[in-house]
Amino acid sequence: MIVVNKAGGSGIIGASSVAQANADGYTVLYDATPLSINPHLQKLPFDPQKDLAPVSLVAVTPMLLAVPKSSPTTACRTC
């Protein structure tokens, strides 16, 4: 196994490289949360839904969105 760390761009550089690689099983992407966030923040040079395929669930990373208590967008109905 050879590990190539392609850092930068919030994971977009490495993910783009994997998305463009041959679909032969020799190139694998290990990425925690950027693929769940990046498509909503910017236009990606690939389509994560079409160009990448999940292989295994490695971990669960809880996500949290905090807003001021006075915000009308609050999930807490009892606050």
Helix orientation angle between 34-41 and 12-20, rounded to the nearest 10 degrees: 100
Q: How many domains does the chain have?
A: 1
Its domain, for residue 74, covers 1-79
For residue 3 the two structure tokens come to 């590990």
Is the pTM value of this prediction over 0.75? no
pLDDT of 76 reads: 58
Regions of the chain where pLDDT drops below 50: none
pLDDT of residue 26: 92
What pLDDT does residue 50 have?
92
Largest CA distance in the chain: 52
57 alpha carbon, distance to own chain's centre: 13
